[in-house]
Amino acid sequence: MRDPFALPRQLRRAALLALLALLAACAPLPPRNPLATWVPSPNHDIRRPVLIVLHYTQQQSVQQSLDTLRTANSGGPVSSHYLIGADGHIYQLVSDQLRAWHGGPGHWGTITDINSASIGIELDNDGATPFAQPQIDSLLRLLTDLTDRLRIPRTQVIGHQDFAPTRKDDPGPLFPWPRLAAAGFGRWPQGVLADPPAGFDPWMALGLVGYPLEDRAAAVRAFHHHYRSMQGDTLDAEDLRILYNLAQQIESSGDGN
CATH at residue 103? 3.40.80.10
Kindly tell me if the per-residue pLDDT of 45 is higher than 90: no
User: Domain check: are 90 and 207 in the same one?
Assistant: no
**Whole-number CA gyration radius for the chain:** 24
In a domain, 45, yes or no: no
In a domain, 168, yes or no: yes
In a domain, 143, yes or no: yes
Q: Which of 30-44, 81-95, 174-188 has the lowest mean pLDDT?
A: 30-44
User: Domain check: are 155 and 85 in the same one?
Assistant: yes
Give the domain range for residue 221: 202-253
User: Domain check: are 119 and 225 in the same one?
Assistant: no
Q: Which of 6-15, 63-72, 153-162, 198-207 has the lowest mean pLDDT?
A: 6-15
Distance CA(71)–CA(18), nearest Å, equals 40
Q: Give the full edge-to-edge strand order of the sheet including 118-123.
A: 90-92, 82-84, 118-123, 51-56, 157-159
Identify whether the C-beta of residue 114 lies closer than 8 Å to the C-beta of residue 107. yes
In a domain, 144, yes or no: yes
Kindly tell me if the per-residue pLDDT of 9 is higher than 70: no
Provide the domain count of the chain.
Answer: 2
pTM of the entire predicted model? 0.85
Confidence at residue 44, expressed as pLDDT on a 0 to 100 scale: 76
Confidence at residue 257, expressed as pLDDT on a 0 to 100 scale: 61
Distance CA(218)–CA(233), nearest Å, equals 7
In a domain, 21, yes or no: no
User: Domain check: are 166 and 209 in the same one?
Assistant: no
User: Domain check: are 90 and 135 in the same one?
Assistant: yes
